[in-house]
Amino acid sequence: MNPREVGSLLFSHPEVAEVCVLTVPNPHAFVVLAPNASIGLEALRGLSQGHASQAESLQISILDEMPKTRTGAVDRGQLVAMAQDMAQEKNVA
């Protein structure tokens, strides 16, 4: 899976404001929608399916805001922790 390809594909939608795609622990895209966006999770999944390899295994989460470091960069460490927590909850439930 090419995270850049998936991120570019999702970001190309006019209602997507920010995207960060991780491959660890599992393929996961974190998306922040533009104000007043009406696109939903299923539409985002549909956008990625058929265009990116392994898109069927891609998890997508919509966030209110992207976690940032003090310098304003995306806090990938926090996103990895969130993805791990979500994967663990999925296996427990």
Q: Specify the 3-state DSSP secondary structure of 52.
A: coil
Q: What is the pTM of this model?
A: 0.86
Distance CA 37, CA 69 (A): 25
Kindly list the structural domains of the chain, giving each domain's residue range(s) and its CATH number in brackets, ordered by start. Answer: 3-92 (3.30.300.30)
pLDDT for res 93: 45
Per-residue pLDDT of the chain (93 residues; tens, 9 = 90+): 577 888 999 999 999 999 999 987 788 999 999 999 999 999 998 888 766 555 557 899 999 999 999 999 999 999 999 999 988 877 654
pLDDT for res 43: 92
pLDDT for res 22: 92
Q: Specify the 3-state DSSP secondary structure of 66.
A: coil
pLDDT for res 32: 98
Q: What is the DSSP letter of 74?
A: B
